[in-house]
Amino acid sequence: MTLLLIAALFITACSSDDETVSTEENNNALQYTKTTITIDEVTSDFQLYEYQNSGRLFKITQYADLGYSTSEAFFEGDNRFPYRIVRSEYNQNQESIIRSDYFIELADNKLVLTDSQSPVVMEILFTGKYIDSELFSVTETGFERETIFTRNSDNNLINQTEGNELDITYSDFDTNHFKDPLGGAVSETNHILYALLDLEESKNTPLTSEAFGVSQTTELIYDGDYVVGYIEYDGSTEILLEHTYE
């Protein structure tokens, strides 16, 4: 069964259904598989998720104008976390280059990712399925950048900081639908990497973000319990992203 966006869908940021949809693991839920993007009536691929027979996510492809990139996780047996994640870039001639090759170690509630292609090391602290912080460092220069994710008692992301440079507050959580695969109002993070690590920033999708005194609300599109797309703008140009589930 494939769930697709159709033109007649009603665009709204609120659900007409008063029942709360559980966003915890649901064996009957459809799996998100891809997103397309439409700009000026031209539609192209944006992102693709691939799963093992067990249902575990192992590969994410992101598309660009002149090629695409893949992030692929490698597992040992039924271990929750992969031992390796490789990110490769491909040009129009299918020529590829490995951009990062992370080897992963688990110590208590911390994942340490060491890149064999560069002097980059990432340390991710987590509680259960949720990310608490990410420390990005470059061993050759001593550069460090820490991103901290703060959640409320419902495990919804309410604040995201990066040192003194970034401070984002989140609110208006969508508890009536399954999560938006692209994160809704969550600012750009290592979302692809987190997904392959089976980690999340928030239990429910935040619809509103506020940073530097500016508040923005994400305009989601729904079909039943699912977020099937959303609209954003580049100046006056409307950008439509549409999700597919199977």
Please state whether beta strands 57-64 and 67-74 pair in parallel, antiparallel, or not at all (unpaired): antiparallel
| Four-residue CA torsion sign, 40, 246, 196, 52 | negative
Integer-rounded Cα radius of gyration of the chain: 18
Q: What average pLDDT score do residues 51-58 get?
A: 95
Task: Please count the other Cβ atoms lying within 10 Å of the Cβ belonging to residue 37.
Answer: 17
Q: What is the pLDDT of residue 47?
A: 97
In angstroms, the CA 186 to CA 211 distance is 11
Please give the structure tokens belonging to residue 8: 């007649």
Say whether pLDDT at 11 is over 50.
no
CB 5 within 8 A of CB 229: yes
Residue scoring higher pLDDT (240 or 11): 240
In angstroms, the CA 124 to CA 111 distance is 5
In angstroms, the CA 171 to CA 174 distance is 9
Say whether pLDDT at 7 is over 70.
no
In angstroms, the CA 51 to CA 208 distance is 30
The residue range of the domain holding 75 is: 32-245
Q: What is the pLDDT of residue 232?
A: 85
In a domain, 176, yes or no: yes
In a domain, 203, yes or no: yes
The DSSP bridge partners found for residue 236 are none
In a domain, 20, yes or no: no
Say whether pLDDT at 212 is over 80.
yes
CA distances from 149 to 23, 124, 166 (A): 19, 11, 12
CB 168 within 8 A of CB 187: yes
In a domain, 3, yes or no: no
Nearest to 210 by CA among 231, 233, 173, 185: 185
Q: What is the pLDDT of residue 234?
A: 84
Tens-digit pLDDT profile for residues 150-168: 999 999 999 999 988 899 9
CA distances from 190 to 20, 29, 78, 93, 187 (A): 28, 25, 24, 27, 10
The continuous run of DSSP H or E covering 209 comes out as strand 205-211
Tokens 């280059």 correspond to 97
Q: What average pLDDT score do residues 188-217 get?
A: 94
- pTM value? 0.87
In a domain, 26, yes or no: no
Q: What is the CATH number of the domain that holds 103?
A: 2.40.160
Mean pLDDT of all residues in the chain? 89
In a domain, 149, yes or no: yes
Q: How many domains does the chain have?
A: 1
Letter for the amino acid at 168?
I
Please give the structure tokens belonging to residue 104: 């992963």
